Amino acid sequence: MQNIPPQFSRTHILLGDAGLQHLASRHVFVAGLGGVGSYCVEALARAGIGRLTLLDHDVVAISNINRQLPALHSTVGQSKAELMRARVADINPDCKVTILKTFLTIDNVNQLVPADSDYVIDCIDSLSCKVALLAESLKRGLNVASSMGAGNKLDPSRIRVADISKTEVCPLARNIRLRLRRENIYKPLLTVYSDEAGSAPLPPQPVEGPGRARAVNGTISYMPALFGLMLAGAVLKRMLEQGSTTAQ
């Protein structure tokens, strides 16, 4: 690979020309740029993914500072999608980034998710929107990965990576599995989840502007970040394995 960007010299030692070229040719769609999604995007960009489509309609709130990558006192009120686009550009100027500041619903999901996505990564915290993204993307035959709930958890050693059919303890994974089965969807769905038993969330809280009332979970700085990094790592590993198989 000629003219390796200097920021990827250490990655090149590990992956070689073929690995770097493969990641540079991939397009990943990430929905949700909160605690999980922002760190997931960070890892994808630093690995050399060539194209990203990032979806999040929200702006930074001061309560996001404890766990979300772009959340600072200086960025409160700013668009999460725009902040992450600027961050990716500062990591890898060659990465093509499209942002969608739109609230995803069952009615618009297929218009929002690009047909050429090599992977769809779900980091949404609204259940109905999450299921809509997963169901429609799986029906279209896209590769899909999803984060389960990182809230109300403290033990990083309990984080797991598995197909959703193999998840245990996590009530969100169980709920999503049942909803997908109702639509007769049994396709592979890569998930990051925790088998730590968490406390019950507070009742749904009202939100201003687009979106729906959501349950409020207690959060700690490292858990959403670990979920996001592990999700990115699992997706990158599978893309590299696919590239290696294709090259043979």
Does the predicted model carry a pTM greater than 0.75? yes
- Quick one: three-class SS letters along 140-165? CCCCEEEECCCCCCCCHHHEEEEEHH
Q: Which of 8, 21, 2 is nearest to 239 (CA)?
A: 21
Place of tokens 């990115």: 232
Dihedral-angle region of residue 32 (phi above 0 means left; psi in -120 to 50 means alpha; beta otherwise): left
Q: How far is 174 from 188, CA to CA, in rounded Å?
A: 15
Paired tokens of 59 = 């702006």
The CATH T-level fold of domain 14-247 is Rossmann fold (3.40.50)
Domain edges within the chain: 14-247
Q: How far apart are the first and last CA of the chain?
A: 18
Q: Are 33 and 10 in contact (CB under 8 A)?
A: no
Q: What angle do CA 28, 33, 35 make, to 5 degrees?
A: 120
Q: What is the pLDDT along the chain (248 residues), one digit of tens a residue?
A: 568 899 999 999 999 999 999 999 999 999 999 999 999 999 999 999 999 999 999 999 999 999 999 999 999 999 999 999 999 999 999 999 999 999 999 999 999 999 999 999 999 999 999 999 999 999 999 999 999 999 999 999 999 999 999 999 999 999 999 999 999 999 999 999 999 986 555 544 555 555 555 567 899 999 999 999 999 999 999 999 987 766 65
